Structure 1
Amino acid sequence: MKKFFISLLLMCLFFFDGQAQQTYAVKGRVVDRESREPLSFASVSVWNSTQGVMTDSLGNYVIENLVPGMYRLQFSIVGYRTYVTPEFRVSSHDYRIDAELEENQVDLKEIEVVASPFRRSLESPISSRVIGLQEIEKSPGANRDISKVVNSFPGVASAVGNGYRNDLLVRGGGPSENRFYLDGVEIPNINHFSTQGASGGPVGIIDADFIREVNFYTGAFPANRGNALSSVLDFKLLDGNTEKRTVKATVGASEVSLTSNGYITKNKKTTYLVSVRQSYLQLLFKVLDMPFLPRYTDAQFKIKTRFSQAHELTWIGLGAIDNMKLNTDTDPKDESKQYLLNYLPVIKQQTYTLGAVYKHYAGRHTQTLVLSRSFMNNNNRKYLNNDESSHENLTLRYNSDEIENHFRFENRSLFGNFNVNAGVNLDYVTYTNRTFQKIFSEQAKEILYETDLNLFKWGVFATAGYESPDERFTASLGVRFDANTYSSKMNNPLKQFSPRLSLSYNFFPNFYLNGTVGRYYQLPAYTTMGYKEFGILVNKANGLLYQRSDQTSLGVEYHFGKNAEATIEGFYKKYSHAPLSLQDGIPLACKGVDYGVSGNEAAVSTACGRAYGVEFMFRWFGSGKFNLLTSYTYFRSQFIQPSTGKYLPSAWDNRHLLTLSGTYKLPKNWDIGLKLRVMGGAPFTPYDENLSSIVSAWDATARPYYDYGLYNTGRLKTFSQIDFRLDKSFYFKGVMLGIYIDLQNIGNFKYDSQPVLVSTGVVDPQIYPDGNQHYKMKYIRQQSGTILPTLGLTVEF
């Protein structure tokens, strides 16, 4: 059946390959960013081509006879900054893209302006990337999942051999140190089956059809984006189509999705985007004989109303229902899979975010008001040996809700060469937890507690940016204060004073020296704040604090004309006041890349550490045909061992990261892509064989215990992987048909994780000095790496 389907696919590819090419138009309106008045006789051209037009007296333009494909537009007019749009796709209908041009404060008669897609930011001239549509749609091995796309960029590592997860590990930081926004609305996580208290999961939750571009910050975080220590992903979403209502259906190896895009009202002032996805990922994992079978449903929408030139309102919604079952039929002879099966819990999650963004354009001033609500319910169950016939076998029953209500107001003003943004945020948080868990700590015991935690969080922020009249020097000074009502240790905003400074200087054409220094704070996970023992919030009693990170980066940037850029950056991050596990003696930031929950344990805010390194990146946008991204990072990630005061490698100390990723547009609407990923081996900790073998200890978790006295004294081998992608698009009148094949790990490289210590299930008759019964134990090989094919079909009409 599989061979028949592939043969049929190839026949269709060659049969339709000679179909006539359709053409469409791109149209829109160009206005002054401040006054919202139309700009007459502005030049509008297809970037990197000679095709273009002028706007009419009302600022409208139409560029006709564009064949389907990826494009950018360039807008220019005397007295305004030249603007190059993000990438967009012309596929099955005319496309609309409006532009707002910013008035130039300097006479450009003597300056040659070279339009470039590499946009620069006053506040973050360093450690920030703009990820475009081409890189999201065509990235080999990513399957349009943004968590996998960003792995190609400098400083981004990933967890290997850990259950097909999307954990985001940036510049030596942990998976809990990232923040995510959709058009200004904060969302708690971007993955299905996320680890509560951290992040990550097997598949992304955001539909790529909604994404216009992504601003990815690995440092120099904007002051209005708080509570991050390692990265901020700021998603910019498409607006609905005002020209036509369209429908797009996609069938892939793991899901089927339906997306609609268009307008609602007759005056076309209200547009919409909506999508629904249903996975059958459990079928793929069943075929791969994986020990867990994830299934999910998600929905997303965006509704935008432009009441007038000065007022607009956007509604955003994102929700998911996740259900991960255990595959008890997995190969009983595969000891590695049986090990995973015996410790992974059954996971059920429900999440949603609803938000509204109001914007008021008042000349040189723009006000933004954001109201949103996020909800997450996490329900985990685990029975010893997956035997649910007896309540005595229950080892974990966990049910938790996290609810965040957000309010944020900010005002952005332009005063000549100065750009000032200031605002406040106020959040109300509800965290509930009902936990029963069997653990072993010197002796077997049960944890049973209920938490009902309510608190207010608030923040104040301001940023002032300056650009010199000759546009060669920029500076940005920002401050932020944060506090909350959790305890007296956290309610004084002066203790969470976060200053930051960014500078950039253009020494000669296309060459920039950039730098930043700042202090950033992050609230510990709610799982840590709400952890109880004997009815007491033990971490509150332990004086839990905001985590702090002092960071600095320095780098150079060079643009090769308008098609390519190269950057070299060095960074240093110093951590303090981070939660330290009282049981294990390691920072909680070194955990969180496994399914379930992270941070629900006793801790004190005494962990200290550092991460430092150097990054290189080269990006090439080759006239719409060839895209290349090359990145290399050498870094160290360490924390101070409390007992010795010496630096030890953290869990994320991979040291070397190398990515070569490219796509090429072939004739007749074929696209081909290839990616090489090389990542240094992660450190690992040997197991405590004696403790792990104790019957009550093993039965509590079905996992071995680490010997934290030898923390991260071992190191795994280097990981490498090659991914391949092939796309073919067919364009008919009003219809686009796309077919793609994505092959992860086409070299079938194998990766050996740390051999795992497991129980044989046989009690050792030997009498041990500790007086406990012990299992006979053995080590089993942990190897991952297989060719993972994805075949997808997309129809848009």
Structure 2
Amino acid sequence: MRFGLYALVSFFYLYNNVWAQKVTNRATISGYVREIGSQEALIGVNVYIPGTTTGTTTNTYGFYSLTLPAQDSVRLAYSFVGYETVTRASQLRANQTISVALTPGRALAEVNVTAESTGEKVSESAQMSAIDIPIAQIKKIPAFLGEKDVLKVLQLMPGVQKGSEGQTGIYVRGGGPDQNLIILDDAVVYNASHLFGFFSVFNGDAIKSVELIKGGFPARYGGRLSSVIEMNLKDGNREKLHGEGGIGLIASRLTLEGPLTKNKKSSFLISGRRTYLDILAAPLINAETRGQTKIGYFFYDLNAKANYDLSDKDKLYLSGYFGRDKFHARDRTQNTDTDLSWGNATSTLRWNHLFSQKLFSNLSLIYSDYKFQIASIERGTVDNQLYSLQYNSGIRDFSLKYDFDYYPSPEHSVKVGVQGTYHRFTPSAVVLQNSAINQLNSTINTIDVTESGVYAEDIWRPSSRWRINGGLRLSYFQQKDVGYFRPEPRLSGAYTLRPDLSVKASYALMNQYVHLLSNTGIGLPTDLWVPTTDRVKPQQSQQVAVGIAKDFTTGSSFTKGLALTIEGYYKTMDNIINYKEGASFLLINDPTSANSVRWEDNVTAGRGWSYGAEFLLQKKVGRFSGWAGYTLSWTQWQFAELNNGRPYYPRYDRRHDVSLVGIYELNKRITLSATWVYGTGNALTMPISRYDAYRAGASYLYDNDGRGIIQSLLQNSRPVDDYGTQRNRFRAEPYHRFDVSIQFHKQKKHHERTWEISMYNLYNRRNPYFYRLEAVDPLSTEPSRIGLFRYSVFPIVPSVSYNFKF
């Protein structure tokens, strides 16, 4: 951290000296862009001079700065998706502040797209492999059981592979679920799922923006290999009390926001959600088991945020997320009692300071905590043995982050920053029997490590045709006496062939110092987070991508507003880890070493590579909106100690992936939407045969004196599956489904209500969830034939929900 701060001070000193000599007779316009009626800061608003390529965008806090030659009159346009474009004209003889409020556009208004009214288009941006989806659009897409889910919408994007049926797992360009950096208001969220992966922890009512970056990563991001998913909470309405919520089949939610003071300098937001599965399922379970089995499950999450303007140059933000899943099962017939709980807690305190009209800073203090616990006790019905399972996994972070945005001229937008994180890992899992239970030391050894980084990046416009984002990140990781220092160069650029068409290319090197150990590969909360050590090196990836981007600014009302991107990529991954054959983190009846075993003994390191092409045609606004996406990709892994050292396809290698999303505003009262997805089946390791294994046993005859005489040897058999020597040689059937929904809106005097009816998997496709070898005719007296049986989870699933705003 000390080195990073010194580097930042030196950087600004040199940079300011250079520009002080080059820039004369210029003036700066800066300010904030907010939403009219709520004063919510807007992220990514395009601020530009119409008819030119001179412009900038607002940062995460709605701030912009643009330095121009002094002149008698200048006209600026402020453009943002879903809002009406605003222009401001003023003299520019001296520095001045202009803050603007934008009005949300009418839902049914067709987009009037011209070369001068779009601001920065996808073809003009230096960033590639990035996707942002308006929250308003997310709320209109059909959802499983009516629960609007940000992560499931991201699964519909090219380059993002879905996990198992209904799950929120994210697999980006060949990477695993641990290789995604999920950020909520600067805080890292380590496990983003409820209900064992069927729902995410993010409540769409509280989210202001979401962006997915799959490649060409800016230098400000680090610590993961495959993607960045950055989300920001709403700040809260500064003018009046506002609320929205919904009642669905399995959960209800409520969000309240409003001013804290009358001077419109502060606001708050609080948003909560809870499921009532435990209440709905309890009568059914009790009736089925006659009270012998009790099962309960629920989840909840809570978002809260408050902000206050200390002055025109200083703003304070405090935000947090708290969520928990709880599962309990008690079976009196089996004498078992099991409790599971897992959840996240994050909090972020941020201070914005405006040093000048060109220099904006943000200081963040961040806390993140993820815990998973299992406590299970079973008493054997035959041997009366007592078994206990105790399983813990946790990671807790304390972070300090300082970022600067510097706008020396229209040709340069500079970002620099430094971050330090103190991680504490608590991995432990042990199974004990009888007397060994009392021998376990309940204190779990912790693993403490530090991770830090310093970065600098510059969006440079050397000419009207070129836009380049170059940067360098220096990362450092320390665990006991072992340290890793890694430079991470980043470069992306766009060359404009004509006003609506450009070619792009990018290169990024990423390092990851935390790992997720999984026996399932589906990102369950039972997976263990572990750090880089002296024996396990950091994961590292290198990715190259090229592509084209085109904006459709002319033509019919349907084609106006369309954006097309086509990209090809190649990515290598080194030092990825996996369990060795037959290895597990569970310790059986070994309380003395339960807290001292080295998990490194159970893992092996290898490498992977992924390549493919992605197609995305997207329309964000207008009466008809949505997108069409297609991915063609290959992913392979190779470990010296797995699959006989040969490369193999991991579970979520998917050759073809298609997603079609359409939203149509029929009129002011009715919205129709539909999605169709198709994907190549998962690569699985399945048994290639089954045979009976025998063991010798003895039978005794007893005479009248009680003496035993061996009568004969018997053969006791049990079925054994043979998986062969190749991993994942079996391909599951293709996955596809069709979802539809219809929303009925009604605007009342003081509130708006929406009824939504949706159908998940409309044509009742029996998609595979897992496969098993079973007897074809188990009741037959003849030797049974063995067949492969497919099991599905969700048939057609209807749902109804009620949503309201006031």
Taking structure 1 as the reference length, what is the TM-score of the superposition?
0.74
- Map residues 694-713 of structure 1 onto 2, 5 A cutoff: 707=723, 709-713=725-729
2:158 aligns with: 154
Amino acid at match of 1:727: Q
- Map residues 497-646 of structure 1 onto 2, 5 A cutoff: 497-525=487-515, 543-561=535-553, 563-583=561-581, 602-603=601-602, 606-621=605-620, 624-642=622-640, 645-646=645-646
| 1:389 Cα offset (Å) | 11
Over 3 Å counting, the alpha-carbon distance change for 1:260 and 1:448 in structure 2 is closer
Amino acid at match of 2:614: E
Amino acid at match of 2:797: L
Structure-1 separation of matches of 2:566 and 2:489: 24
Q: How many residues align?
A: 666
1:191 aligns with: 193
| 1:276 Cα offset (Å) | 1.6
2:205 aligns with: 209
1:724 aligned to 2:729? no
1:456 aligned to 2:472? no
Structure-2 separation of matches of 1:677 and 1:542: 44
Structure-2 separation of matches of 1:453 and 1:793: 47
1:272 aligned to 2:268? yes
CA contact (8 A) 2:205 2:244 kept: no
Summarize deviations over 1:253-295 as a string: whole Å, max 9, x none: 1211121011101212111111121111346777999998641
| 1:707 Cα offset (Å) | 3.6
Over 3 Å counting, the alpha-carbon distance change for 1:52 and 1:499 in structure 2 is closer
1:793 aligns with: 802
2:650 aligns with: 650
| 1:497 Cα offset (Å) | 1.7
| 1:380 Cα offset (Å) | 1.5
CA contact (8 A) 1:685 1:708 kept: no
| 1:518 Cα offset (Å) | 1.6
CA contact (8 A) 2:210 2:229 kept: yes
Structure-1 separation of matches of 2:461 and 2:655: 37
1:132 aligned to 2:134? yes
Structure-2 separation of matches of 1:344 and 1:680: 40
1:595 aligns with: none
1:298 to 301, 309, 315: 301
Structure-2 separation of matches of 1:159 and 1:556: 29
Structure-1 separation of matches of 2:107 and 2:301: 28
Structure-2 separation of matches of 1:419 and 1:67: 29
Structure-2 separation of matches of 1:342 and 1:754: 29
CA contact (8 A) 2:108 2:623 kept: no
| 1:676 Cα offset (Å) | 0.3
2:792 to 766, 775, 783: 783
Over 3 Å counting, the alpha-carbon distance change for 1:539 and 1:189 in structure 2 is closer
CA contact (8 A) 1:47 1:72 kept: no
Over 3 Å counting, the alpha-carbon distance change for 1:411 and 1:73 in structure 2 is farther
2:707 aligns with: none
| 1:230 Cα offset (Å) | 1.3
1:665 aligns with: 665
Q: Percent of aligned pairs with the same residue?
A: 21
2:371 to 377, 380, 391: 377
- Map residues 156-305 of structure 1 onto 2, 5 A cutoff: 156-161=160-165, 164-192=166-194, 201-282=197-278, 294-305=297-308
| 1:577 Cα offset (Å) | 1.3
Structure-2 separation of matches of 1:369 and 1:72: 41
1:737 aligns with: 753
| 1:688 Cα offset (Å) | 8.4
Structure-1 separation of matches of 2:151 and 2:562: 24
CA contact (8 A) 2:580 2:604 kept: no
Over 3 Å counting, the alpha-carbon distance change for 1:392 and 1:424 in structure 2 is farther
Provide the secondary structure at the position in 2 that maps to 1:633. strand
Amino acid at match of 1:208: G
- Superposition RMSD on alpha carbons, in Å? 4.5
1:766 aligns with: none
Provide the secondary structure at the position in 2 that maps to 1:455. strand
Structure-2 separation of matches of 1:412 and 1:51: 25
1:353 to 341, 346, 354: 346
Structure-1 separation of matches of 2:162 and 2:535: 32
Structure-1 separation of matches of 2:600 and 2:721: 16
CA contact (8 A) 2:85 2:117 kept: no
- Map residues 468-487 of structure 1 onto 2, 5 A cutoff: 468-470=462-464, 472-487=465-480
CA contact (8 A) 1:538 1:602 kept: no
| 1:213 Cα offset (Å) | 2.1
- Map residues 109-148 of structure 1 onto 2, 5 A cutoff: 113-115=116-118, 118=121, 125-141=127-143, 143-148=147-152
Structure-2 separation of matches of 1:478 and 1:228: 17
CA contact (8 A) 1:579 1:605 kept: yes
- Map residues 314-463 of structure 1 onto 2, 5 A cutoff: 314-326=317-329, 346-361=339-354, 362-382=356-376, 392=385, 394=387, 396-416=389-409, 417-437=411-431, 450-463=444-457
Structure-1 separation of matches of 2:302 and 2:679: 34
Over 3 Å counting, the alpha-carbon distance change for 1:314 and 1:560 in structure 2 is same
| 1:158 Cα offset (Å) | 1.3
CA contact (8 A) 2:191 2:370 kept: no
Provide the secondary structure at the position in 2 that maps to 1:34. strand
Structure-1 separation of matches of 2:111 and 2:297: 41
Structure-2 separation of matches of 1:758 and 1:565: 50
Structure-2 separation of matches of 1:573 and 1:515: 14
More off after superposition, 628-637 vs 397-406:
397-406
CA contact (8 A) 1:364 1:413 kept: yes
More off after superposition, 358-367 vs 567-576:
358-367
Summarize deviations over 1:409-464 as a string: whole Å, max 9, x none: 1222122212222221111122224421389xxxxxx9999431122221122212
Provide the secondary structure at the position in 1 that maps to 2:175. coil
| 1:392 Cα offset (Å) | 3.9
- Structure with larger Rg: 2
Over 3 Å counting, the alpha-carbon distance change for 1:61 and 1:355 in structure 2 is closer
Over 3 Å counting, the alpha-carbon distance change for 1:414 and 1:202 in structure 2 is same
CA contact (8 A) 1:716 1:753 kept: no
Amino acid at match of 1:756: R
Amino acid at match of 2:239: E
| 1:141 Cα offset (Å) | 2.7
More off after superposition, 310-319 vs 412-421:
412-421
Provide the secondary structure at the position in 1 that maps to 2:155. helix
CA contact (8 A) 1:318 1:353 kept: yes
| 1:631 Cα offset (Å) | 0.2
1:5 aligns with: none
CA contact (8 A) 1:687 1:704 kept: no
CA contact (8 A) 1:44 1:55 kept: no
Summarize deviations over 1:17-68 as a string: whole Å, max 9, x none: xxxxxxx98586999823899x99866789799997869999677889x897
1:677 aligns with: 677
CA contact (8 A) 2:628 2:659 kept: yes
Structure-2 separation of matches of 1:432 and 1:219: 31
Over 3 Å counting, the alpha-carbon distance change for 1:175 and 1:541 in structure 2 is closer
Amino acid at match of 2:154: V
Amino acid at match of 1:191: S
Structure-2 separation of matches of 1:463 and 1:671: 42
Taking structure 2 as the reference length, what is the TM-score of the superposition?
0.73
